[in-house]
Chain A
Amino acid sequence: MHYFDYAASTPMFKEAIEVLSKSCENDFANIAAVHKMAKKLNEEVNDIRLEVLKLFGLSSRKYKVFFTSSATESNNIIIQNFKNSDKYCFCNPTDHSSILLPVKKIFEDKIIKFPMLEYGIPDYSAISNIDLQNCSLVVTSMVNGQNGALIDGEKLSTLLKSKNKITHIHYDLVQTIGKCDFDLSKIDFDSITISSHKLGGPKGIAALIIKNDLRLNPLMFGGGQEDGIRPSSVAVPLIKSFIYALKKAHLERNEHIEKMLNYKKRFLSELQNKFPDIIVISPESSIGNIISLIVPKIFGDVIVRNLEIKDIIISTSAACSSKKKFDDYLLEFIIPAEYHKNLLRISMGHLTSDNDIAQLTRGLLDVLNLLYSIKR
């Protein structure tokens, strides 16, 4: 089986599974309890919080780390804290629904969209001309999950904070960590979301890093864990497994980034050689792990099904299998409506091997040859 849907979820590192398993066996006490087992676990988790900060060069005097169940939850905690704000939200129209939906719910029509160029790249010079005085929140993913488009966080933050120091800036780093080289200590942010299952860790755990002075209302009410921001028994085994994967992914990123970029280059050159009418919609400035393409004559879901017969797993966009003719969301990428059902998304990660790429390339070429011969 050749898996190419890392952007949706990733296989776990073997060691992360071992850490999880061992911790499930030993760390079963509730860290909020009064006895010594709990205290020990509580200390361990607090150490992990500091490790996370240290990993990204952040000071514990400025930031703190909370654990949640998912990136969606982390994003919602931040965004929903802007309820009843009569100010605006400045956001990326090509972003993930875990950001755009809560933004729409909370801000309703008080939304200013990033001015965008093609394929998910923001128009930074246009952004520098926008009046953001009435803006209370800026939120964006740093890497786009649909096509891998990369946002320059340092540049964006500098631009934004120079216009309005009060605006809260939130970055979603779900698709970023381990796949992109960045220095968080140089980026001016108020909060960030990190996900576990997109970088070889288990599902069901994520982190939210916020500035120490940020007061947040919780989404749920209960036992007061996580400073009251996120009540719920803390999932120690998931956290331990998560931190293992996080460290491995971030520390090994440079090697990984180079490998992915090479794979992407090789794959695309072979593909475009044989099928020059294929349109690549991952821009120049995108991570190597995600390759997004349009195959003009063939529907994406037909290609996916033909590949799955060969045990090769790739993805499309949500528009491909929906009953609607086009997707407003994809229009924001400046992808013409006529191609919305022709998208493919191929995404790689830490277990992707030379053989996987070879099989994918051969498989896709075979499928395209077959389908093109039928389509005429």
Chain B
Amino acid sequence: MDYKAIMLNVDELWLKGRNRSYYYRKLKEHIDRLVSSYTKNIFTVRNEEQRLLLESKESFPDALLDRLMLLPGISTMIPCYRVKSDIETIFESLVSQVETLGTTPTTFKVITRRTNKKFPMSSYEISALLGEKLLDRFSHLKVDVHRPQLILDVKILPSDTYTSCKKIVGIGGLPVETSGFAVTLLSGGFDSPVASYLMSKRGCRQIFTFFHAYPYVGDEVLEKIKQLASVLARYQKGTELYIVPFGEIQTKIAQNCQEDYRTLLFRHYMLQCADLLAKKLGAKALITGDSLGQVSSQTMENISILDKNCDSLIFRPLIGLNKSEILSISKLIDTHDISVVPHDDACSLFSPKHPIIRADKFYFKQFLSSIDLTEDLQKAVEEAKKMKFSVSGDLI
């Protein structure tokens, strides 16, 4: 489609009060960066009565429209046509749009808003006139002011008029960076990518970390993690992925702890490592894909022990979601088909036969004081391989 103008409605505006200009600025920055990555043409983003109007002399690529829908902070998107503000021109613009829709929508309504008070007719009069002309032109159409299948939108602004026939729902939420900065622990499974998306939607900027248990697992899993980071980067203003070598640390833990505590202790030290990384980068929270009761390390007791022994705030946005809900979201955000490919992320060599369900906090504390892995964790963070992703998800 041939759109040179897109109207973007900002979500949760009414909550913002005095911080409004900050949120607008952050959102504009993100839109700016995203659009620049998709087109070399000159474009503008301006405030238009609490909406953002994105315009260019050339059409925007369709791929960009798909990406804009995923930008946190945008509640709806209205791709439109800019025409001269006179009834005939406006009418013809509506006609050509209706023609592209075929005969499926049979009921319609025209909604007009005008901020250009110099226009000689009232909004109501304009809607009525355009409606009449459309009924004349299209025999299959009927007016329905309550539940029309098609809404034709007309906005008469001081400069020109913008007409449209569709409204696309975006992910809403808050613009990225407006809620702070966190480190997300990414695994190859379904959960952590969905957790990341939910936090992106709340305006949380994120970088990702993956704990690579080489030589117990191979390098194949890294391909999967890179693909996931690439997809998740699209809900951010671009991002970074840190691949932390964890094999040696896992060996040390496994050689010194009771077999049934392995998984839980691995989890603990991963959080410690992520915490170190967060402090190094200035992030104020960690994000994980834990959901209550899904696997043994996610019982209330175990989550509690992990929480109490971690310095950073830990967000667990999936804590109340069922697996089926998580899978649905993963399909929606395009991570499902990547996560579904099997890989050995947690080498079965280490898996305990009966992982502990309710950890004994005394044993846990005793283990932590029996072994000092601070240097190993710091070394792992220092040796982490860093990858950068652009706002369009490309590896740079």
Interface residues of A (CB under 8 A from B): 298-299, 301-302, 305-306, 308-309, 321, 323, 370-371, 373-376
Contact = CB atoms under 8 A, between A and B. Distances in A.
B306 interface: no
B116 interface: no
A376 B348 CA distance: 12
Interface of B: 214-216, 218, 220, 251, 254-255, 259, 342, 347-350
Contact of B215 (A305, A323, A373, A374): A305
A373 B257 CA distance: 12
Main secondary structure of the interface of B (DSSP, over half): loop
B8 to A, nearest CB: 43
B215 A321 contact: no
Contact of A321 (B216, B218, B255): B218
Contact of B255 (A305, A306, A309, A374): A374
Contacts of A306: 215
10 contacts: A299-B349, A301-B218, A302-B215, A302-B347, A305-B214, A321-B220, A323-B342, A370-B251, A374-B255, A376-B259
Nearest to A371: B349
A308 B342 contact: no
A309 B349 contact: no
Contacts of B254: 374
Contacts of A371: 349
Contacts, number: 28
B349 A305 contact: no
Contact of B218 (A305, A309, A374): A305
A302 B251 contact: no
Nearest to B254: A374
Contacts of B259: 376
Contacts of A321: 218, 220
Nearest to A370: B251
A301 B342 CA distance: 16
Q: Enumerate the 6 nearest inter-chain pairs by beta-carbon distance, A residue then B residue, closest first.
A: A305-B215, A306-B215, A374-B254, A302-B216, A375-B349, A309-B215
A306 B220 CA distance: 16
Contact of B349 (A298, A308, A323): A298
B251 A308 contact: no
B251 A374 contact: yes
B90 to A, nearest CB: 59
Contacts of B342: 323
Contacts of A308: 215
Given A298-B349, A371-B349, A374-B350, 8 more contacts: A299-B349, A301-B218, A302-B216, A302-B347, A305-B215, A323-B342, A374-B254, A376-B259
Nearest to A308: B215
Nearest to A375: B349
Contacts of B251: 370, 374
B379 to A, nearest CB: 16
Contacts of A299: 348-349
